[in-house]
Amino acid sequence: MLGYRSFSTSSVSLKVGCAMVKPVHHRVKVIKKLLSPRFPELKLSPTDPRSPKFRPEITHQDRVQEHIHNTLRSDLMLINYIHGEKPAEGLKRRQWDFTSPYHINRPARPPKGEKVPTPTIMPQSWKNVPGIEKVVVHSFVANCTSDPKLNIGVSLQLQQITGVKPQSVYAKTNLPSFGLRKGVKMGAKVELTGRDASQFLSTLTELVLPRITTFEGISNRAGSRYGTVSFGLKPEDVLYFPEIYYNQDAWAKRFGMDITIHTTAQLDREARQLLSGLGLPFVGTEREPKLTR
Amino acid sequence: MSLAKGVWSQFSRRSPSLGVSSKALKTALLSPDLPNGPVSFKKRSSKIQYQSPIGMEQVYPLAYEMMEKRSEQVYAKIDQITEEINSAEDGSDLKIKLLAKKDKLLADAEKFNPEVLYKVQFATNSLDVTQPVYRRALKEKWESYAKMLTMQRLETLNVIPDTLPTLEPEVDVKIRFAHNAIETYVEPGKILSSNVTSKPPVIEITEFEEVQHELYTVLIVNPDIPDIENDTFSTTLHWGLKDIPLSNVDNVIDPKKLLEDETRELISYLPPTPEKNAPTNRLAVWVFRQNGVPLEKVEVTREFFNIREFVEQNNLQAVGAHVFRSTWDRNVNRVRELYGLPKGRIFHRVRR
Amino acid sequence: MQLYSIAQLTPRVVGRACSALLRNTLQVNQVRTATKKAAGSKTHMQDSKGRRLGPKKQNNERVKVGQILIRQRGTKFYPGENAGIGKDHTIFALEPGWVRYYLDPFHPKRKFIGVSLDRDTPLPTPHFEPRRRRFGCVELTDSWQASREEERMSRKEYIAFPEILSEKAKRDARRIAKADFYKKALPEFVELSGEELDIAAARMVSVEAMVRGGKSLEDARFYTSYNYGYDKSLEVQRGELSAASAESVKAQYTEIAEKLDAAVVLDCRFKLCKSLTEAETEATRNDILAQLKATEQTPLNAELKAHIASLIDNQVFDLSSRVKLRRRFLKPVASEPVGIVQDDKKTRAVIQRWNYKENKVEVIQRSQEAFGVN
Amino acid sequence: MLSNVRTSIIRQVDYLTSGTQLHFIRTKRKKAGSDKSEVRKLVTQLSVLSANRKQPKLLKFSNEDYVKHQVIQKSWNLYVRDKKAEEANILQKQYESIRAANEDLQSVSKELFSFANTREPSKRFPLELRVPTEYPPNQIWHHDYTPKVEKKK
């Protein structure tokens, strides 16, 4: 406990020795915030336009989402429908059998041959048709170790392209040979959801990717196995974003970015199918995951 | 141009209290824009300067139409339920369930009627409590403040284990001392001057469900009367009322109501007269619902009153409570004289 | 020379600056601050004396107020019922009684030390039972001591007391003056004998105070009667009055009250007025409205303004209708068609006003009559 | 001794990098205000990033408009909910019908059934499928469009 400084001697004697929550005798939940007369505007719900947290969100039509819902979803369900398919059980953590009293509170063992459990893949039905969850755009700049000012440029570039305020990313590991220390700012990222994500995806498919001469398609092998697809853009490719392209003088220094598209698909195969419907091309051979049904 | 064309414009089967009475306000709420500026603004200049949010004029008629249509559907459902209620047996479980469902639907049907919304938020003084939608609004308001405040005070002042073990509040209890020239509602837990409390209070009991002729018992008990023999405290009954008939509209227990029938007073009012240097007295106001059973041949003692035993014997259901406090002041002696009470004891300033 | 200025920066900043310099493989001027590490010291063989910790009272032991139950580092035990905790986590008794070491189901991981007021009662007290409390105060039996204690005031009260007394005196004087006023004024409206007049005046004082406090006139009348009746029944309770005479006094009061209420009312500005029937009210109202409308076309002057104001301040109008009438008949500027701009420069008056629609200042020229100035 | 100019630049850079690193390089002494362009640029960039300036004004509603807003908001929520339910309903119906069709097929022809239920590897939507855009091209429809036919090797 921190001692606090004061001139009064009584404050020392008033210092409490312990904190105790007294059990109450009723079942009414008392929200102290609502009883206090202070900050009346903070008691309002964020959906209330009088609240400072209110943001008018639905301002435009979301063409990408509409396309997914009107055109893609029913096709996706019908393409992936296999009659009489059974759920493919994922690997789960192994529980102890409690033959010994020491098993109580012992953490469960990881699945056999794996470190982390894998999800159970359910057969396609009308309830689990994939959709876009979010898009993460991430720029890691290695030169930030020597020139920390670059962080500002990276953030600004992401903000200009996506229209969303970026967060900084920090070095996770300590690599003294590269001059990298843990906790140093190394770039920025943005998480796009809803209309921002749709806007970004349509810019990407309509304006940026078609103009990259070297781009053949997203690798069919890129992905997290469970419905997340990612690919990268080089600094010279970033030029084709209209926000950069029409103001090239201001963007002497450009930064590459990694784009990760999170979908609600259960497998990468389904995620790629969904994204192909949005105009993203894929190349290479696709690996089929081994599932035991 | 008025938007109301469906149910919300018809007052033949709906209560007129579901609409606003002011013509200007009605025009403002039922037009796509504000033809004469906002009615709620007083100054002419602010009326002229004000601009509605962009696009509201186009969207609002659509929204209104949609909500009105939904309300129509709910009213159709209500008609169906009313028929079922008519065919159901009186007092059966089914009928009670259906009546509750009907109340809920009636509130749902009107909740997003702009006229009702306006009244609920900006004209709270004159809500018609016979309408389920207004009762629900009052309940939400009570739950968001007064209920929590009362329960917090009952708990922190230890009223709950000291008088009755617990409370599941269902009604809003408000008190005021109306015999004074200036009166306000007493905030739970407030310390009042003994002058203010020298005559009985007026108690308002707000039920949020539909209540026709329910009977109520009210007890004001003080668990802080010194019991010197046992070196502890005893409970005194300051006021007892029984068989008070109340409804949603007629919900005040005041002298007018008590003078109607003198037998309703179980025991006459005794004002709090704390003694000097004794701890502050808490006066807990307990409200019980009798569930339609009148109390007969009830005898109470003022001193050493056991409220738990009384409640158990008479099968009372505690539905609400309030608390105010009283401490010794220069007016106590006068109040004691007024009631012919002996002079209060004076205790040593230091507690041993 | 250059080193000096760097040394003025804080050591932390210098350290960071130096590490940055090292990485950039530029020429670095190393900064050395004036520090000298002190000689090493012996770190073993350190032990303090025993702090005499531990329980000082056992279970079921008798304790007095303030006695220490346990000395501890941290809260190995928590203070239970009738026990307090100090800043060094010492637990002590707050009431005399018997020490109990116990567990509380609401805090399953904590151990408690409490003081039970009885030899046999266990702790903790069941959750929904009333708390067991000791009164502990001693009555002052000596009358001199008791009266001294009763008169004793807190510093705050002592300072405020003269002001309270003077305020009370003023308030009483005001009440008496009010009663005197009513004693003089009431005979104009209602015939009352001397004793009846006193009662009526007292009633009017109370009614006026209540109406000013925010009650309606009906409520104020009711509660005034109620207070009177209540006081009388208290007199009966005290034995100062017999029940029968109390009834007769009450009946007499009711009679006076009815007579009074039928004769007088207080208007919205708390002015004493004659009570009118509905027909009379309606007639007066129509009459005044007709008079007011007659003045509408005439240009205002000071005399007419006073006349209109006196017409409006009538008991038949409530506060809001008075405001409305004032707005209508006592306009500071007459409505536009009256008193259009005149060429005669002597009688012309010019005002500037803000046009909210066009966001600019308008200059308006009107005859002086339009402003009620003559 | 360091000039005032240089220390001021140090402080600014330190502030810009929010204290993570300080760049302190000894260079030739320059005249005051000569090389501030980069710092100025950084300050501009930071000001663009700051949320403070982009905070929109609080909307001010009159009571009537506030009520109208509530009605609009509620009706919009209901509209979205209905739309979702409708879409789910359509999907469910499609699912039910494909299931029933497969049941039939299974009883009619095992071969066709197994053919219908083998998963096509790397099944994709055609690249010609476009998302409808806000600003469609001048030529909306390619009337002479013929899909590419892969040549057999």
Q: Which pLDDT value is given to residue D3?
A: 38
Interface contact A18-C87, CB threshold 8 A: no
Q: Which residues of chain C lie closer than 8 angstroms to D25, CB-CB?
A: 21, 24, 26
Residue of D5, D2, D4 whose CA lies nearest to D34:
D5
CA angle at C143 for the pair C140 and C149, rounded to the nearest 5°: 60
Domains identified in chain C and CATH numbers: 50-155 (2.40.50.100), 163-274 (no CATH), 278-329 (no CATH), 332-374 (no CATH)
B306 Cβ neighbours under 8 A, 6+ residues apart: B235
List beta partners, residue B192: B326
Task: Using DSSP, state whether B280 is helix, strand or coil.
Answer: coil
Average pLDDT over residues B317-337: 96
B314 domain-assigned? yes
Q: How confident is the model at residue C84 (pLDDT cuts 50, 70, 90)?
A: very high
**Residue B256 confidence (pLDDT):** 93
| Inter-chain residue contact D71 with B117, CB threshold 8 Å | yes
Find chain A residues with C-beta within 8 A of D129's C-beta.
Answer: 71, 277, 279
Long-range contacts of A89-95 (CB under 8 A, 24+ apart): A89/A120, A89/A292, A90/A117, A90/A118, A90/A119, A90/A120, A90/A121, A91/A117, A91/A118, A92/A117, A93/A117
> If you measure CA to CA, which chain A residue comes closest to D58?
A52
C223, C227, C234, C355: which to substitute to probe chain B, counting the most B Cβ within 10 Å?
C223
Mutate to test the interface with B, among A21, A22, A26 (most CBs of B within 10 A): A26
DSSP code of A180? B
Cα–Cα dist A182/A176, whole Å: 10
Average pLDDT value for residue range C136-161: 95
Q: In terms of domains, do B150 and B114 share one?
A: no
Task: Indicate if B206 and B75 belong to the same structural domain.
Answer: no
Whether residue C25 is predicted with pLDDT greater than 60 in this model: the reply is no
Is the CB of B346 less than 8 angstroms away from the CB of C230?
no
Q: Which residues contact B191 (CB under 8 A, 6 or more apart)?
A: B280, B324, B325, B326, B327
Q: Is A129 within 8 Å of chain D by CB?
A: yes
Average pLDDT, chain C: 85
What is the rounded CA–CA span in Å between residue B290 and residue B297?
15
Render pLDDT for C211-223 as a digit per residue (tens, 0 to 9). Answer: 999 999 999 999 9
Closest CA to D20 of C8, C16, C9: C16
The verdict on B203 and B319 lying in the same domain is yes
Per residue in B59-109, pLDDT (tens digit) is 999 999 999 999 999 999 999 999 999 998 888 899 999 999 999 999 999
Q: Quick one: residue C277, left, alpha or beta (phi over 0 = left, psi -120 to 50 = alpha)?
A: beta
pLDDT at C309 (0 to 100): 93
Find the CATH number of the domain harbouring B114. Answer: 1.20.58.1180
Q: What is the pLDDT of residue C26?
A: 38
Q: Are residues B227 and B302 in the same domain?
A: yes
In the prediction, which pLDDT does C11 show?
Answer: 39
Q: If interface means Cβ-Cβ distance under 8 Å, which residues of chain A face chain C? A: 12-13, 15-18, 20, 23, 25, 145-146, 179
Kindly tell me the number of DSSP H helices and DSSP E strands found in chain D.
4, 0
In a domain, B141, yes or no: no
Q: Per mean pLDDT, which range of A144-158, C170-184, C319-333 is the poorest?
A: C319-333
DSSP string, C201-238: HHHHHHHHHHHHTT--HHHHHHHHHHHHHHHHHHHHHH
Residue B46, pLDDT score:
87
Asked whether the predicted pLDDT for residue D77 surpasses 50, the reply is: yes
Instruction: Give the whole-angstrom CA distance, residue C224 versus residue A89.
Output: 83
- Ranges B306-315, C353-362, D22-31: which has the least confidence: D22-31
- Six-digit token string for A146: 């020597």
**pLDDT for the residue A129:** 96
Chain A, nearest residue to C19 by Cα: A179
Q: Is residue C82 scored above 70 in pLDDT?
A: yes
Position C4 scores a pLDDT of: 37
The mean-pLDDT minimum among A48-62, C47-61, C253-267 falls in: A48-62
Q: Per-residue confidence at C337, pLDDT binned at 50, 70, 90?
A: low
Question: SS3 of A185, please?
Answer: strand
Q: How far is A28 from chain B (nearest CA, A)?
A: 7
Nearest to C21 among D2, D14, D24 (CB): D24
Q: How far apart are CA C350 and CA C354, in angstroms?
A: 14
Eight-class DSSP state of D112: H
Chain D adjacent subunits, 3+ CB pairs under 8 A: A, B, C
**Predicted pLDDT of residue B213:** 85
Residues of A whose CB is below 8 A from D40: none
- Indicate if the pLDDT at residue B190 is higher than 70: yes
B293 with B238, same domain?
A: yes
Residue B242, both tokens:
């029984």
Q: How far apart are CA A110 and CA A93, in angstroms?
A: 5
Domain boundary among the residues B127, B159, B186 is at: B127
Per-residue pLDDT averaged across D138-145, rounded? 70
Domain ranges in chain A are: 132-283
H-assigned helices in chain B: 23-29, 44-49, 56-87, 93-110, 114-122, 132-144, 146-156, 159-162, 255-260, 307-314, 332-338
Task: Note the pLDDT of residue A244.
Answer: 93
Beta-carbon contacts of B266 under 8 Å, excluding residues fewer than 6 positions away, are: B217, B240, B241, B242, B298, B300
Task: Describe chain B by its helix, strand, coil percentages, rounded to 5.
Answer: 40, 20, 40
Domain-embedded: residue B49: yes
Candidates 3.30.43.10, 3.30.1440.10, 3.60.15.10, 3.40.50.300; CATH matching A132-283: 3.30.1440.10
CB pairs under 8 A between B and D: 66
- Give mean pLDDT, residues D54-59: 75
- Checking if the pLDDT of B222 tops 80, the result is yes
User: Parallel, antiparallel, or unpaired: how do β-strands A167-170 and B281-289 relate?
Assistant: unpaired
* Cβ contact, residue pair C129, B161, below 8 Å: yes
pLDDT of res. D11: 38
| 8 Å CB contact between C104 and C124 | yes
CA dihedral angle for residue B4, residue B6, residue B11, residue B15, rounded to 10 degrees: -100
Residue B140 located in a structural domain:
no
Which residue carries 């030739």 as its tokens? D28
Beta carbons within 10 angstroms of residue A209's beta carbon: 19
Q: What are the angstrom distances between the C-alpha of A258 and each of A136, A229, A230, B245?
A: 8, 11, 7, 73
Higher confidence at residue D89 or residue C4?
D89
pLDDT at B36: 87
Chain A residues touching residue C111 (CB < 8 angstroms): none
Choose one of B97, B127, B157: the last residue of a domain.
Answer: B127
Q: Are residues B179 and B89 in the same domain?
A: no
> B63 and D75 in contact by Cβ < 8 A?
yes
CB pair distance less than 8 Å for A165 and D51? yes
Residue in D closest to C14 by C-alpha: D22
Q: State residue D21's pLDDT score.
A: 41
C138 alpha-carbon distance from chain centroid:
35
Question: Across residues C338-358, what is the average pLDDT?
Answer: 67
Mean pLDDT of B133-156: 97
Residue B343 resides in a domain:
no
Give the pLDDT band of residue C332 (cuts 50, 70, 90).
Answer: confident
pLDDT of C180 > 70? The answer is yes
- The answer to whether the CB atoms of D63 and B122 lie below 8 A apart is yes
| B191 and B291 within one domain | yes
Mean pLDDT of the residues in chain B: 94
Judge whether residue C254 has pLDDT over 70.
yes
Residues of the domain holding B260: 146-338
Mean pLDDT, range C223-241, rounded to an integer: 95
Which secondary-structure segment (H or E) carries B278?
none
Paired tokens of A142: 């290695």
Residue A219 is predicted with a pLDDT of 94
CB-based contact B166:B159 (threshold 8 Å)? no
Give CA–CA dist A261/A8, Å, rounded. Answer: 60
Strand partners, B234: B225
List the 138-157 stretch of C: residues with Cβ below 8 A of B.
138-140, 146, 149-150, 152
Name the closest residue on chain B to residue D63, using Cα atoms. B40
Rounded mean pLDDT of B188-209?
96
- Calculate mean pLDDT across residues C5-32: 41
> Tens digit of pLDDT for each residue in B21-67?
999 999 999 999 998 889 989 888 888 889 999 889 999 999 999 99
Question: Taking CB atoms and an 8 Å cut-off, how many pairs form between chains C and D?
Answer: 26
How many folded domains does chain B comprise?
2
Note whether residue B269 is domain-resident. yes
Q: What is the pLDDT of residue B3?
A: 84
Weakly modelled stretches of chain A, pLDDT under 50: 1-4
Q: Cβ contacts of residue B16 below 8 Å, gap of 6+?
A: none
Last residue of some domain: B99, B127, B155? Answer: B127
Q: Is residue B225 one of the residues assigned to a domain?
A: yes
pLDDT value, residue B126 = 84
What does the DSSP assignment read for A50-113? TSTT------S--HHHHHIIIIIHHHHHHHH--TT---BPPP-PBPP---SGGGTTPPPBPPTT
